[in-house]
Amino acid sequence: MTTDELIGKTIGGYEILDVIGRGGMATVYRAQQVSMKRVVAVKVLPKQYIHDDTYLQRFHQEVKIVSQLEHRNIVPVYDYGESEGQPYIVMRYMPAGSVDDRINRGPLDIETIISILEQIAPALDYAHSKNVLHRDLKPSNVLMDDDGGAYLTDFGIARILGEQSVGITTQGVVGTPSYMSPEQAQGLPLDNRSDLYALGVMLFEMATGRRPFESDTPYSIAVMQVTTPPPQPRAYNPNLSFAVEEVILKTLKKKREERYPHAVALAESLKRAVDKPITSIHDTQPVAVRPQPHPIPIEQPAQSPPPMVAIPPIAYAPLGQSAAPPAAIYRRRKPRRPNVWMNAAVGGLIGCGVLVVLAITALLIIGMITGGSEAAPTPTATTPPWLSGVSRDGEVMPTLDPTSRAARDARLPAATPTPLPSRTPDHTATIAPVGVRSAMLLSPEVRAIGGSLVYFAERDSSTKLFHLDLNTGQETQLTFGAGMDVFPAVSPDGRRIAFQSDRDGDFDIYVMDLSGDNLRQITRNAVDDRLPAWSPDGEWISFSSDIRGDGTFDLYRARADGSDLQAVFGDAARSSGARWSPDGQTLVFTSGARDDAGTWEIARFHLPGAVFSRLTENAVKDWSPSFSPDGRYILFLTNEGARGDSAIARMAADGSGRKILYDGTGYEWGASYSPDGQLIAFTAPDGGREEIFVMDADGGNLRQITSGGGQFPAWVSAS
DSSP string, 681-715: EEEEEETTEEEEEEEETTS-S-EE--SS--EEEEE
Cα 416 to Cα 127: distance, rounded to the nearest angstrom:
60
* 651 strand-pairing partners: 634
Check: CB of residue 247 under 8 Å from CB of residue 262.
no
Cα 532 to Cα 489: distance, rounded to the nearest angstrom:
6
- With both helix axes pointing from N to C terminus, report the angle between 242-251 and 192-208 in degrees, rounded to the nearest 10: 140
* 79 strand-pairing partners: 90
Rounded (5°) CA angle 180-104-639: 70
Q: Which residues are catalytic?
A: 136
Contacts of 5 (CB under 8 A, 6+ apart): none
Order of strands, edge to edge, in the sheet holding 647-652? Answer: 622-627, 633-638, 647-652, 659-662
80 in helix, strand or coil?
strand
Contacts of 181 (CB under 8 A, 6+ apart): 190, 193, 194, 197, 198, 225, 256
Cα 21 to Cα 34: distance, rounded to the nearest angstrom:
22
Q: What is the rounded (10 degree) CA torsion for 617, 623, 627, 631?
A: -10
Look at residues 485, 466, 487, 489 and name the one whose alpha carbon lies nearest to residue 477. 466
625 in helix, strand or coil?
strand
Cα 84 to the chain's mean position, in Å?
35
Cα 379 to the chain's mean position, in Å?
36
Check: CB of residue 719 under 8 Å from CB of residue 495.
yes
Cα 580 to Cα 307: distance, rounded to the nearest angstrom:
35
Cα 626 to Cα 713: distance, rounded to the nearest angstrom:
13
Phi, psi of 267 (to 5 degrees): -60, -45
Give first-to-last CA distance, the chain, whole Å: 43
Cα 100 to Cα 179: distance, rounded to the nearest angstrom:
13
Q: What type of residue sits at position 21? A: G
C-alpha distances out from residue 661 to 625, 648, 698, 704, Å: 14, 6, 6, 16
